[in-house]
Amino acid sequence: GQQVMQIPQYQHVQEGEDFTTYCNSSTTLSNIQWYKQRPGGHPVFLIQLVKSGEVKKQKRLTFQFGEAKKNSSLHITATQTTDVGTYFCAGDLSGGYQKVTFGTGTKLQVIP
C-alpha cells in the first residue's frame, strides 16, 4: 500500500555534528509536513512545504521538498542536545481526500 518511509530509523550524533533524515513516498505528495516529538511528548508541527523543489529554513534546520514531490529531507546543522527527539515527515497521499500519512520517523540522539 501507499506509505511514507524515513531513513535512518535511528541516528546518534556527537553534539555539534550535522544530521539529516530522508523521507520517501511511494506516490506524489500534495505537500509535505515535518513534526518533532520530544521524548515523552506528542508530535508538534514544524513546517510545511508545498512547491516542487522548495527549500525552507528555520534557524539551524533546513527542509527540502524534492522536484518530483516524492521525497523530502530535514537537515540540522551543528546539533544541540535540545534537538533530541523523533522527527516525522507526513504527506497527503490521498489525492485530494486531505488525509495526511505519517512517515516511520527518525529518532535522533545527541551525545553531549
Partner 1 sequence: GAGVSQSPSNKVTEKGKDVELRCDPISGHTALYWYRQSLGQGLEFLIYFQGNSAPDKSGLPSDRFSAERTGGSVSTLTIQRTQQEDSAVYLCASSPGHLAKNIQYFGAGTRLSVL
What is the binding site for partner 1 (CB under 8 A)?
30-31, 33, 35, 42-45, 48, 50, 86, 88, 90, 92, 96-105, 107
Report the residue number, 37 or 62, with the smaller CB distance to partner 1.
37
For residue 97, CA distances in Å to 20, 38, 77, 94 come to 30, 29, 35, 5
Report the residue number, 7 or 78, with the smaller CB distance to partner 1.
7
Report the residue number, 29 or 110, with the smaller CB distance to partner 1.
29
- Minimum gap (Å) between residue 95 Cβ and partner 1: 10
Give the separation between CA 53 and CA 67, rounded to whole angstroms: 5
Give the separation between CA 82 and CA 49, rounded to whole angstroms: 23
- Minimum gap (Å) between residue 72 Cβ and partner 1: 15
93 contacts 29 by C-beta, under 8 angstroms: yes
90 bridge partner residues? 33, 102
Preceding peptide of 112 cis, ω within 30°? no
- Minimum gap (Å) between residue 77 Cβ and partner 1: 25
- Minimum gap (Å) between residue 32 Cβ and partner 1: 11
Report the residue number, 25 or 33, with the smaller CB distance to partner 1.
33
